[in-house]
Each structure stands twice: as structure tokens, then as C-alpha cells.
Structure 1
Amino acid sequence: MTDKLTVAGKTVLITGAARGIGAAVARRLYAKGANLSLVGIEPDLLTALAAELGPRAAAFPADVTDQLSLDAAVAVTLDRFGNIDVVFANAGIAPPTTTIAAITPSDFEHTLDVNLYGVWRTVKATLPHVIDSGGHMLLIASIYAFLNGALNASYAVSKAGVEQLGRALRVELATTDATAGVAYCGFIDTQMVRTAFSQDSAATLRNALPSFITKPMELDTAGAKIVRGIERRSARVTMPWWVTSGLFARGALSLLDSRLAADTRVRAAINLAAAPGGHSRGQR
């Protein structure tokens, strides 16, 4: 299936919909006439967003780390709207900004539970309905699917896994009318990114990278790119401008590892992150 997808009248389920990228995408899709199932762990924010948008939006609190919770959200979405045509698997968290040696097992594993297994659970719960409707799934990955994940190893691992899940899913859906894609996001101006950048270790590491990589993209611009990718059934949605080149140059980008390892600013960031209290977490 290569025809474009008209979202008007379609039902879109968005995880992590309460704020940031999820909410920005929800607002744009609603304006285009979509029905919206807003899923997340912040019921007050979800309810407020649904009220802001109007009668074609409904809040269904659910935790992507809990399959039964997700299944229930899918069931009530079907009761309310009758079908699920599009899924934007967006829920995610930022791990503590720290080293592999310093991160606790629970923090590392929780990052994967939300960012990778949460996407898998979302796909598992909604896939039969998207196949039935010939719809589209967009899974949110990151530039960390191909950039070095120093001080963010659990996040990078989770996003590399999401990339492979989305790529496999697109091929497996080739015998159906449904499609899937992966969104490769750089730094977007969300609360999660602002919180991360406020930490000394992250700020120090940021100074070691080219400024065009770490300059946050405007949230509304990112939302527009994602909606366009959904409508086009894109295999890849990349943002900001440089990510497409980075994606296809991932082999060459591995050369950055040795440069980062030798950079005194990176070493300073590692020392800051490993110090007591030298990390934070955030939600998309």
C-alpha cells in the first residue's frame, strides 16, 4: 500500500499524548479531522487536552509498561470510536544522565521497559486493528539509534531497538494494506530535553558536539513533520534537517566515537555524571 492516508475521519491512538510531541501531534491531527485516543499516565493533562480539542478526542489513561492497562485503553477506544486506524507509539522517558557504571539496574531496565517494551506492547495491542483498517503505525526512535549513547546508554539501546522493531514491522506488513514507519528525532524543544540540558554533565557533553546537532527543534515544527509522515505512510520521518544525512552516514558517524573518547569535555561530563547527584530524569 503506497496511497497516502487521509486522517480526516480516522481514529488515531497516541501514547505519551499528555504533553510534548504527543500533544503537538494530537492538536494537528485533530485540526485535520481525526478522532483521537489520548493515552498516557497523566490523567489530568490528558483530560485537559481532550477538553481543549473537542468531542472527537478522548482521554484513556494507561501505562505502556502494563499490557493489561494498554489492552483496556484499546478496548475503550474501540468502544468509543469503533476502530483504530493509526497508532503513534510516542511514550518515552529520559534516563538519568549518567554512566553505565553509575546507573542503577532499576533505572536502566525501566528506560527499556517504557521506551522499547512499551512500544512493543503498544504495537501488540493495536496491530490487528491497524491491519484490518489498512492503517499506519509510526514508532518514535531517536538519533540515538545511530549516534554514540555515552551518558545515555539505556536510552540509546531502547531507541536502537525501536528502530529495528519498526523496520521489521514495515516489511512484515507488506502482505497487508497497512504500513509502518520509524521517526528519528533529534533534540526537540520539550520539557524532557530542557530538563536534560539543565544538568551539568549533559551541558558539558553538549559542548563537545557540533552545535547543529544539539540545537533543539521547535516543537510545533516537529509535530508538523510527524503528521506529514503519517499522511505519507513514510518509512522514515527525520528531524531536524541534518538527521536524514546522519541516518544514511551512520557508518561514518561511528568515527565520532574515538573523537568523543579523546575529548576532555566529554571526560569532564563523565566525571560530573558519575558524581553523587549528577543526573536527572524526565518524560517526553
Structure 2
Amino acid sequence: MSRVSLQGRVAVVTGAARGVGELLARKLSARGVKVALVGLEPDELKQVAARLHGEGEYWHADVTDPEAMARVAVEVKERFGRIDIVVANAGVATGGPFVDSDPESWRRVIEVNLIGSAVTARAFLPALLETRGYLLQIASLAALTPAPMMSAYCASKSGVEAYAHSLRGEVGHRGVKVGVGYLSWTDTDMVRGADQDDVMRELRQRLPWPTNKTYPLGPAVERLVDGIERRSAHVYGQWWLRGMQSVRGYLPAIIGTGGQREMRRFGDRLDGRRIGLVGAGGAADEQGRAQGRKDAGVQGRKGAATVRK
């Protein structure tokens, strides 16, 4: 598959304050891309924008807010003149047994990872249709295989994979390409946050190789950039994930059997476990929602999008 020059293109990256989004924005910028950063942490976004190699600005917005994201889309196009690439990367995670899970955190994972991705695409697709651009939806190993203690995250990532595949068929004839990016456990704040729970950490360590490793961020993001340059339908952050596609149909039965064994092993350690959103990104999301509720109580609902120049 041929590569497309990224020089002078305009890319929008959600969840750009840290982790995959931050490094992806910087690597795209190093290839001559003008980058619009979108996220919930304005101070961190400002720092990322300052480290970009070329033009870039940041927008503070919640990807689940349609009005805010629509305004961001208008403002990004006004600022840069066009939009060629959108990376729907924003995501949060929680873990633990479903029966004891915090309903609000469980629902929020679905809202951010799945609904937020759709809101992002809805806001930016008109601009991508004008440029015959490329949308990269970040999914996960969790879209390929279920996992105990990760019901919300697996459901959300399976959902965005199916949604992106459907969207590809709808917009391809109009020149817009849609790709799905798959990542295994990658060294980010989210994964490190999940590992702070001893049961989640031990469960992951007991997974079969190569799914039990934490992989460095840099090579995974380089593969994402390569996929963007190729406008690929599928992008794999770790080489072995491509092979998972051929066996994914067998995995639910295997995980169902093995998962029961592992749940029995941990026994009473699982009782009553309730885990909120993990990592610094999860904390930022919870803080942002708490502030939003506070502001709504005082002033009524306000739009979430602001731009810093």
C-alpha cells in the first residue's frame, strides 16, 4: 500500500493530553502535520502543544458533548483551513467483577470510548468529506478477545471496532478512509493505573504470552503513524495482533473456560471489589464531570469547548 505525504496536512487527535494521544501528536507534528489537540486537561494540553515541532493548538472539550465537539470542529477548520486526519483516541477504563462494579464508572467507559468516538466522527466527518480524509479509530486487543474483570472496556472497544467497520463501508465511496488501530497492553498511564490494583495486575501477569506483557509506547505509536501514512484499514500497534484476527472466533470459548478457573483461584479477593476509572486520564475525567455538575448547579449547563492560542 502506498504512503501519503503528511507534510502540510491537518490532524485532530482526541485524548491528546497524555499517553498514545500525546506521543502520536508529537510524531505527526515531526512529519509536518498541523495538529489540533483535544482533551480534558488544559494544562497538560498546553504543554503538549508547546512541544510540537510545527503548528498546533489545543481545545479543552469532552468528546461525549456533541455541542462542544461541533464547536471544536468549526474552530479547528477556521484556524487551519482544512481537516485531513482525525484520530479518535480518547478513552478511559475500569476493571473488576461486573456484579460489584460501580455503575457510573461502567457507564462512563461506554460513553467515552464508544459514544465519544461516534460524537467525534459526527463532528468532523463533514470536513473529512471535503478533503477525502482519513479517520483512525483506536480500538484495542479488547476488541479481539473478551477478558474477565474488563467487561466495560471490552464492550466499548468491541463496539468501536464494529462501528468503524460499518462507517468504512458508508463513506469509502466518497473518498474517506476509515481505519481501526489495535493496541495490546502499552506503557501508558491507563495501564499503569490498572496495575495499581493487585488482583488486576496478577490476573494480567497470568495471561498467556504475548498478551501478558507491557509494550513500550514508542514503537506502537510509530506503527499508528505508519498506518495513517498508508490510510490503512487496520493498524496493529504490536506485530502479533494481526495474527489474533485469524483465531478470534475461538477465543470466547477459551477465555470462558480459562476465566472461570482464574476467578476461582482469586476467590474471596474478588468479593466487593469496586474500581473507579483508572489512571491519570480517568482521574481527569472524574474531576471534569464533578466540576461540570458543580457548574451546572450554579449557572446551568454550559458548553465545554474552549480554545487556547
Q: Could you state the TM-score of these two structures normalised by the residue count of structure 2?
A: 0.86
Mapped contact 1:4–1:232 kept (Cα < 8 A): yes
Supply the distance in 2 between the matched residues of 1:237 and 1:270 (Cα, whole angstroms).
Answer: 38
Gaps of 5+ in 2: 283-309
* Cα distance in 1 for residues equivalent to 2:4 and 2:50: 26
Give the equivalent residue in structure 2 for 1:118: 116
* Runs of 4+ in structure 1 over 2 Å off: 2-5, 265-280
SS in 2 for 1:7: coil
Q: Distance in 2 between matches of 1:240 and 1:221?
A: 8
Question: Structure 2: how far apart are the matches of 1:58 and 1:33?
Answer: 14
Matched, 1:67 2:75: no
Given residue 213 of structure 2, which amino acid in structure 1 is its aligned partner? K
Match of 2:44 in 1: 45
- Contact 2:102 / 2:274 at 8 angstroms: preserved in 1? no
In the alignment, the residues of structure 2 paired with residue 278 and residue 125 of structure 1 have an alpha-carbon distance, to the nearest angstrom, of 32
Q: 1:157 aligns with which of 142, 155, 161?
A: 155
Q: Cα distance, 1:52 vs. partner?
A: 1.6
Correspondence list, 1:10-25, <5 A: 10-25=9-24
Q: Corresponding residue for 2:304?
A: none
1:76-101 deviation digits (Å, cap 9, x = unpaired): 11121011110000000011x21111
In 2, Cα distance between equivalents of 1:177 and 1:278:
43
Kept in 2: contact 1:229–1:236 (CA 8 A): yes
What are the superposed Cα offsets for residues 112-153 of structure 1, whole Å, 9 maximum, x if unpaired? 000000000000000011111011000011111121231110
3-state SS of the aligned residue for 1:254?
Answer: helix
Aligned to 1:92: 91
Within the alignment, does 1:267 sit opposite 2:264 as a pair? yes
Q: State the Cα distance separating 1:280 from its structure 2 match.
A: 5.6
Task: For residue 252 of structure 1, report the CA deviation from its aligned partner.
Answer: 2.0
Question: Aligned partners of 1:235 and 1:147: how far apart in 2?
Answer: 19
- Contact in 1 for aligned 2:10/2:34 (Cα 8 Å): yes
- Contact 2:96 / 2:273 at 8 angstroms: preserved in 1? no
TM-score by length of 1: 0.93
Distance between the aligned counterparts of 2:87 and 2:79, measured in 1? 18
Name the residue aligned to 1:203: 201
In the alignment, which residue of structure 2 is the partner of 1:132? 130
Change (3 A) 1:262 1:54: closer
Which consecutive unaligned segments of at least 5 residues does structure 1 have?
none
Evaluate the alpha carbon distance shift between residue 271 and residue 186 of structure 1 in structure 2; reply closer, same or farther with a 3 A threshold.
Answer: farther
Contact 2:73 2:123 in 1 (8 A): yes
RMSD between aligned alpha carbons? 1.8
Question: Quick one: which amino acid aligns to residue 206 of structure 1?
Answer: R
Count of residues in Structure 1 that have an aligned counterpart in Structure 2: 281
